[in-house]
Structure 1
Amino acid sequence: MSKSLSFFRLISLIEGTSLIALVFIAMPLKYQFGYGEPVLYVGWAHGVLFLSFLLSLLIVSHIQKWSVGFFLLAFVSSIIPTGTWLLDIKLKKMVTPRPV
């Protein structure tokens, strides 16, 4: 597996986890309990991670010569909670050699 693809998988999992934390932890704290500070920090971190994900997606898709369809699938996975985890399963299948 290439280093760029390994890095992309790592970034995508971290970005996906930050989205889960934002949607299912920080936002309920804000809107159900009136405690909005976690949204500030988790939202900021998620924003930085999302931009890192997009940049690494552009680079890796060019290096790996992914189709436009797969590029769009990877992009959409980043805006759906747990989407990047499902994407990682697909990426792992793409790079893991099949036993003979």
Structure 2
Amino acid sequence: MIRLFKIIATLEGISALILFFVAMPLKYIWDTPEYIRPTGMAHGVLFTIYIIFATMLKFEMNWPWKKFIIICLASIPPFGTFIMEWKYLRTPSNS
């Protein structure tokens, strides 16, 4: 399940970057709002799935509350999920 969570975290991070650095500039700089709705919807769905999986893994893997809160908050800033995955979800063979 951790492998699936890593994939979801990566997709959530990519969707946030596309929303913030592609769709929003297209809307506000070039007056092309068509990409906001599908990109925002994809990001919202992935964000929700990310939080649900983080909650499930918190109890399955017995994460401390501090780690769980940090992992959840990492989904807010751009690049947060990438940093979180690298710092908190590395397997011993990857470190």
Q: Provide the TM-score with structure 1 as the length reference.
A: 0.89
AA aligned to 1:60 is L
Q: Deviations over 1:29-67 (max 9, x none)?
A: 000011001011100110110111011111111111111
Q: Unaligned 5+ residue runs, structure 2?
A: none
Q: Aligned-residue CA RMSD in angstroms?
A: 1.4
**What's 2:20 paired with?**
23
Q: State the number of aligned residues.
A: 94
Q: Provide the TM-score with structure 2 as the length reference.
A: 0.93
State the identity as a percent. Answer: 32
Alignment of 1:1-100 (within 5 A): 4-90=1-87, 91-92=89-90, 95-97=91-93
AA aligned to 2:22 is I
Measure, in 1, the Cα distance between the counterparts of 2:38 and 2:93: 40
Q: Unaligned 5+ residue runs, structure 1?
A: none
Shift of 1:97: 3.8
AA aligned to 2:92 is T
Measure, in 1, the Cα distance between the counterparts of 2:57 and 2:51: 10
Measure, in 2, the Cα distance between the counterparts of 1:13 and 1:75: 14
